[in-house]
Homo-oligomer: A and B are copies of this chain.
């Protein structure tokens, strides 16, 4: 596979080694004009193609009330997945990379960072990979099934039928995403661009995951997307960190490699499932400050999740799998957060992942 070498962003190295002296904490939510903060790359982006499409979806019939009384009852589509893509010029034969976002977020996670730097979506394209960025089923441009919500409004269903709409407060994000132990008090070595934390707050949307059918339709949508691409690297983050594993179990031939970025869990798979997953190269990525108390008592700490994934890697290796952990702190790179794709050294981390892909993932 021929990967283009494109000079990008000569300022990124400088950014990555910027000292904390320049970090100024701004009030949560108070930010300057975001457009003016968007930085420009040094070289043009040359695309063979770009656009968007949907994966999956089912036609269901709903009542007038379930459709919000906008018109008579009839059919709508639910459980489809929106996917935006960019294919670099000359990159048609190269390995596609699918980037799936985490809880209460959308595909925006991978686009322009909160402080206006190039996102991983464009960076991977500039490195020669076609990149596909979905919104999870039930989120963002993928929409969600509103039937039960309107049923409750109409009195046809009781309010206990409502799924919760999940949101993290900005205050919870600080320790949970490991920018610092307390809101407004960043770790001395944090890599997250904390002056722009108010812009991250804007990226959050309500998350209706508990209202999705079971099994989670994102697993099949991700597997189907990999199949339509006739093979892809599947990357998930946080909530969706384990989704590439589930997609690989559904379609191991199309899952050419898995990158689990700060996964919320590494499930305790059966021996048979581990045997299947051992046929796929797997990289797990975790940042720093993993033992920070999150303030979310019902959820495991990030260190516990890290150890859960270490255990899975051990099981995979025991049956001949190529699975490994990438923990930048072990390489002397400190301060990476849960939003590692938005950290100030995000291109340095991206390069490590690209190097792993180059060395471990077979071509399409």
Contact = CB atoms under 8 A, between A and B. Distances in A.
A199 interface: yes
Interface string A140-151: 111110100110
A67 B83 CA distance: 27
A50 interface: yes
Chain multiplicity (copies): 2
Q: Which of A48, A49, A71, A116 has the most CB of B within 10 A?
A: A71
A163 B229 CA distance: 40
Contacts of A149: 149, 162, 165, 206
B176 A112 contact: no
A36 interface: yes
Contact of A169 (B62, B228, B295): B62
Interface in A38-94: 38, 40-41, 44-55, 57-59, 62, 67-77, 80, 82-84, 89
Contacts of A205: 141-144
A149 B165 CA distance: 8
A146 to B, nearest CB: 4
Nearest to A142: B205
Given A35-B83, A68-B166, 17 more contacts: A37-B53, A40-B49, A45-B49, A51-B118, A53-B116, A68-B167, A70-B172, A72-B295, A76-B201, A76-B204, A106-B140, A143-B204, A144-B206, A146-B206, A149-B206, A153-B160, A153-B162
